[in-house]
Every structure is written in C-alpha cells, then in structure tokens.
Structure 1
Amino acid sequence: MSILSFEHVSISHEGIPTLTDINLSVEAGDFYYLIGRTGSGKSTFFKSIFAELAIDEGQAQVVGYDLATIKRKDIPFLRRKLGFVFQDFQLLTDRNVEKNLSFVLEATGHTDEAEIKSRIEDVLARVGMSNAIHKRVHKLSGGEQQRICIARAILNKPQLLLADEPTGHLDPEVSLEIMHLFKELTAQGTAIIMASHDYNTMRQIPGKFLKCEGGKIELTAGI
C-alpha cells in the first residue's frame, strides 16, 4: 500500500477551488521536492494531507486513512504517523530542547518516562544535537534550531515527513547538512515531501520533482 495515494483529488481553501485533479502516489523512501510560486497551492496541498483541509472530490489515502471520510476523532492518530518541519521552527523558546521534545510525546499520548527519555536521546543523536539536550532554544543558532525541528518531527517515527522551506533561512553549508540528513531518513524508509525554493540545494541533492502551478500538482523533470 502506498503511504500517500491521491486519485483525481480536488481541494478548496476558504471556499475557493485551489487544486484540481491531483494524481500522486508516494511510496516508502520516496523523496519529492514540491516547487511552485508563492500562492500556487503548496500549503493547501500540505494542509489536505494532515486533514486540516477537506477533500472536495476524488480518492485520497494517507498512511492508511481515507481523507474523504476520516472522522474528526481519528485525525490525531493520522497526524501521529506524519512529521512536520516548519520554516519558522515553531519551537517553544521559553523551554529547553528536552522539554520541547517531551511536550510533543506527551501530547501524543506517551506517558512512560523511560520511553520518552530514550526517544529524545535517539532523535537528538540522529540529528547530531545530543549535547544540546539541556540548552534553551533561544541560545541555539538557526541551523541548530532547524535540527531540533527535525528531531521533533521524527519523534513518532513518521511514515511521511512534510517539510515547508526547511532551508529557507539557513546558509548553504547548513542547508546541505539538513538535506543529507533527509536523505538518510529516506534510506531508512521515511517518505519526504519538501516544499522549497532553494534551487542551489536541489541541484546538489537528487530527488523527484512535483510542480504546483495553475491549480495542478504534476511530476516534472526538474527545475
């Protein structure tokens, strides 16, 4: 079964038809760049995947859930199987790294303190930030904060990771480090869809391309 399967899907945003006739299949380990101008519908597409926006037409399955018929009570369970990396980090700046990560686990139903500690140590090691566990978020550089965002995104071992301009505010060297980390995740089976305008990085890190334009999302040969 595909991790994501859209067949003839149409989506509206605030009552306005935004995307039409989307046909896409995403498998474990796939890496897609989502490209397109600001306002072309990339955010609408992401919001439909985690069921913030409803599907108007077509068939849409994500990590085993039917987006056309999903019940409100099931949406948190859908989102537990997804990871999100935001451009603006959205970290809790009044807390340290450990508290930022434990907050996510506790909010998604984890109560075993030993398991929480083990998961946090594991994801920090994977992003090369083990030594930052007790640091306050506001003391970290932009690149370090983005690594913490990625650690947060993979806490629940997501099948699909959505990244919205994750290298938008980072220097080229740090951007490449983040991208290499993403490729490691795909090698371990996580599928990733990354919205980006960072064409320099895209040229260096191979992936498939989806272009969002004119209300459509279609596979394209590249940038």
Structure 2
Amino acid sequence: MAVLSFDNVSILQEDVPTLQQVNLEMNEGDFAYLIGKTGSGKSTLFRSIYAELPINSGVARVAGYSLNDIKRSDIPFLRRKLGFVFQDFQLLTDRNVEKNLSFVLEATGHSNPDEIRFRIEQVLAQVGMSNAIQKRVHRLSGGEQQRVCIARAILNKPLLLLADEPTGHLDPEVSLEIMQLFKQLNQQGTAILMASHDYNTMRQVPGKLLKIEAGRIFPVNSLD
C-alpha cells in the first residue's frame, strides 16, 4: 500500500518553482535516503508532505489524504499519521523524558493517564531508553536525545517517518547506532524517508537512494 504518492508534482515557494515534475512513491516498509546539496529542495519536499506548503500542480497523496485539496481542519489528522525526527532534536529541555512524550500524546487527543504511561514505556523500550523515563533532557547525551526524538516520532504509530539529517550532530559510532535503530523500526513496517549527508553511515546501513537536483527527484544506484 502506498503511504506517499507524488505524480508529476510541482511546488512553488514565494512564486518561485522549487520542485518540478516530482514522481515519488513510498510503500509500507520502504526505506529511502534523500540526498542532495544544501538548498536543493529537501526541506521543501518534507514541508509539502506534511501540508505546510501547497501543491502547485500534479497529484499528491500522503497517508490516505489528498494534498491537492486537503482541508485545514484535516491537516492535524494527517500529521498524526506521520513521524518527524529532526537534526536539532527540538525537545523541551526544561522537562523530563516522560513529560516530553506525554505532551505529544495529550496534544494529539490522548487523555487516559494509564494508556499514556503504557505507550511511553513501549516506545522507550523500542529505542533502548527505558531507564531514562524520569531523566531531564538536558542531562542526556546527543545520542540519547536523538533516541528520545525517535521515540516521540513513533508514539502515534506513524505510517511514514520523515527524518531530516538525524545524525548531523552525532559522532560516527553513535550515528551508526541511530541508523541501525531506524532500520529496525523500518523492518517492523514503518516507511522511512530520510534526508542525509552522512554517506559513511549510509553505506553501512543501505537503503534506496533518491537524489534531488535541479528541482527533480530521481533514483541513483550509488553514493559515488
């Protein structure tokens, strides 16, 4: 089943064409890297996927929603079906791990404290952070913070996980651990689209390669 389908999609930013005639499909269980120079349009693609930027032409569907005519009131429901992992973590540093995660669940409509606690314990176990539930975020290492970010991203069991340079601030050994964690999640069925420049780690954790260049996206066979 396709969780993302772009058919001849073009996207403008401030009336300037950024992406043109994009054809892209992600199915359940797909794992793809998006490579390209800074400013080539990776962030534009991500922003269009979660309906922050409108589709100018073509046909786009994500997680069962048409992006061509999605209602503003449906955008939060679309985003609940997506997970997001960022390079700069974007955690609430004045709170502990549990409160960072409960904040997300409460914001997406969960209200039962026991169910919230159970789901938090589940995702922390998945990312190897069960012992950190009461720790303050600022006391965690960069790799630990990124694991918490991944836990946050999978709280609502997303169909598609978007990761934007998730190993950009991590050293090589930790980067490899984080990438292997993404691969494990992918093998459990979550489709993952990851923008990355971390070629060394990508070679050790292979996936489908997509290159973005001159406003187009196309498959490539190698990182060379």
Return the TM-score normalized by structure 2: 0.98
Question: Aligned residue for 2:94?
Answer: 94
Q: Which runs of 4+ in 1 moved over 4 A?
A: none
Distance in 2 between residues matched to 1:14 and 1:139, nearest whole Å = 41
Equivalent AA in structure 1 for residue 208 of structure 2: K
Question: Aligned residue for 1:175?
Answer: 175
Question: Aligned residue for 1:10?
Answer: 10
In structure 2, the gaps of 5 or more residues are none
Deviations 1:106-140 (A, max 9, x none): 00010111110010000000000011100000000
Question: Aligned residue for 2:64?
Answer: 64
Distance in 1 between residues matched to 2:15 and 2:97, nearest whole Å = 39
CA contact (8 A) 1:208 1:222 kept: no
Q: Residue 15 of structure 1: CA displacement?
A: 2.3
Question: Aligned residue for 2:199?
Answer: 199
Q: Residue 219 of structure 1: CA displacement?
A: 1.2
Question: Aligned residue for 1:73?
Answer: 73
Secondary structure, in 3 states, of the residue corresponding to 2:145?
A: helix
Distance in 2 between residues matched to 1:221 and 1:59, nearest whole Å = 26
Deviations 1:75-124 (A, max 9, x none): 00000000000000000000000000000000001011111001000000
Distance in 1 between residues matched to 2:7 and 2:222, nearest whole Å = 23
In structure 1, the gaps of 5 or more residues are none
Distance in 1 between residues matched to 2:14 and 2:35, nearest whole Å = 22
Alignment RMSD, CA only? 0.6
Q: Residue 14 of structure 1: CA displacement?
A: 2.4
Secondary structure, in 3 states, of the residue corresponding to 1:3?
A: strand
Q: Residue 222 of structure 1: CA displacement?
A: 2.0
CA contact (8 A) 1:209 1:219 kept: yes
CA contact (8 A) 1:9 1:57 kept: yes
Superposition pairs for residues 1-223 of structure 1, below 5 Å? 1-223=1-223
Number of matched residues? 223
Distance in 1 between residues matched to 2:161 and 2:15, nearest whole Å = 27
CA contact (8 A) 1:102 1:116 kept: yes
Q: Give aligned-pair identity as a percent.
A: 74
Equivalent AA in structure 1 for residue 205 of structure 2: I
